[in-house]
Structure 1
Amino acid sequence: MVEIERKFLVKSEGFKTDAFKHTEIIQGFLNTHKERTVRVRVKGEKGFLTVKGKSTSNGLSRFEWEKEIKIEEAKALLQLCEKGVIEKIRYEVKVGQHIFEIDEFFGDNKGLIVAEVELNNENETFVKPSWLGQEVTGQIKYYNSLLSKAPYNTWN
C-alpha cells in the first residue's frame, strides 16, 4: 500500500491524441493535515474514499489506502469537505511499459496540466514522452490537497 510515483508538468497537449481513456473527476478533502489527507472523489460513475500518508523526504513514496464507495455516498461526503473542490479530466496514456495519468485542471486551477507515472520502485526507469515537461515530484504546491487551498490561478 505504498505508492511510488513521479510527477511532471506537461508542456503540450500532444498526450490527448494518444490517450486511451479520459474521465471527469471531482474531489474534495475531508482532512488536509500534513501527516495525512483524506480525500473524497467522484471519478466518472464511481465514488472513492482515499487516505494518503506523509511523503518520504524525496517526495517519491507515501502510504495510500483507497476504497470504492457508492457514488451517492461520495457526493454526500463532498458536501462535508474543506473549502476548495478540485475539478479535472484525467487522461490515461500508455508510454512504453507504463501508464501516465495526465490531469487537466479546471475551475480555479484552469491552465495547470500535470502528469504522474506510478513506479514499482524508486529507481525504475521509464520512457519520457515529448510532451513531458519539468519534474515537480515532491513539490507540495502541486499536490491536489494544496491546490484545493492555494489554487493555480492565485500563483504569481
Structure 2
Amino acid sequence: MIEIERKFTVKDDSFKAEAFAKNHIAQGYLNSNPARTVRVRIKGNKGFLTIKGASNDTGLSRFEWEKEIPVAEAQMLLLLCEKGVIDKTRFEIKKGHHVFEVDEFYGDNEGLIVAEIELNSETETFEKPDWLGTELTGDIRYYNAYLSNNPFKNW
C-alpha cells in the first residue's frame, strides 16, 4: 500500500477541543534506516508492527505495510528497539472529508506538536483548520524515526 501524507506544524492547542478521539502511543524502531523503517507501536490497547519504505522525491508518498499484533508481543518488541522510544498522544480531528492526526510529544520531544493528513492522491485538496501551521512534508527532522535518534530537545 502507498501512503500519501502531508505534515504540518500546529499553531496552538485549540485542536484539542475538536478531537473526536485521543490515544496514548508508545513506539520504537527495530530499524530506523529511512530506506526501510520497522516500527513497533502500542496505540491505546492495540499493538502494531509497521514497515515503511523510503519517501518519493516530493516526500508525500511511500510504501507502508502494517499488521495488528497482540499488545503483549508489542511490549516485548519495544524492549528490542533502538534507543529513543517515542511517547506521544494522538488526537484525531475531522475536518471536511478528512481526518487530521495531531501528535503531542512528550519526553525528549516535549514541546513538539505535529499534524498529519492522509490523502488519496498527491494533488488532493483538503480543508485547512485555523490551527494548522507551516507545511513540513518531506522534512525528515519531523519523521518519528528521526525524532527517536535526534530528539526535539537537542535542536
TM-score band (shorter)? over 0.9
Distance (whole Å) between structure 1 residues aligned to residue 98 and residue 15 of structure 2: 14
> Cα deviations across residues 36-67 of structure 1 (Å, max 9, x unaligned)?
00000010000000000000011000000000
Identical-residue share of aligned pairs (%) = 64
What residue in structure 2 maps to residue 70 of structure 1? 70
What residue in structure 2 maps to residue 51 of structure 1? 51
> TM (normalized to structure 2)?
0.99
Distance (whole Å) between structure 2 residues aligned to residue 41 and residue 67 of structure 1: 10
| Structure 2 residue 151 is the aligned partner of structure 1 residue 151 | yes
What residue in structure 1 maps to residue 26 of structure 2? 26
Structure 2 counterpart of 1:50, one-letter code: T
Distance (whole Å) between structure 1 residues aligned to residue 34 and residue 137 of structure 2: 16
DSSP-derived class of the 1:14 partner = helix
Distance (whole Å) between structure 1 residues aligned to residue 59 and residue 98 of structure 2: 19
Post-superposition, which runs of at least 4 consecutive aligned residues in structure 1 deviate over 3 A? none
Structure 1 counterpart of 2:141, one-letter code: K
Distance (whole Å) between structure 1 residues aligned to residue 10 and residue 92 of structure 2: 13
> Cα deviations across residues 101-124 of structure 1 (Å, max 9, x unaligned)?
000000000000000000000000
> TM (normalized to structure 1)?
0.99
Structure 2 counterpart of 1:111, one-letter code: G
Distance (whole Å) between structure 1 residues aligned to residue 68 and residue 55 of structure 2: 23
Q: Residues 111-122 of structure 1 correspond to what in structure 2 (within 5 A)?
A: 111-122=111-122
Distance (whole Å) between structure 1 residues aligned to residue 23 and residue 12 of structure 2: 19
Structure 2 counterpart of 1:45, one-letter code: N
Distance (whole Å) between structure 1 residues aligned to residue 35 and residue 91 of structure 2: 29
Give the root-mean-square deviation of aligned CA atoms: 0.4
Distance (whole Å) between structure 2 residues aligned to residue 18 and residue 80 of structure 1: 36
Distance (whole Å) between structure 1 residues aligned to residue 47 and residue 127 of structure 2: 31
Distance (whole Å) between structure 2 residues aligned to residue 142 and residue 58 of structure 1: 15
Structure 2 counterpart of 1:138, one-letter code: G
How far is the alpha carbon of 1:35 from its aligned partner?
1.0
How far is the alpha carbon of 1:148 from its aligned partner?
0.2
Structure 1 counterpart of 2:36, one-letter code: R
What residue in structure 1 maps to residue 129 of structure 2? 129
Which 5+ residue runs of structure 1 have no aligned equivalent? none
How far is the alpha carbon of 1:34 from its aligned partner?
2.4
How far is the alpha carbon of 1:32 from its aligned partner?
1.1
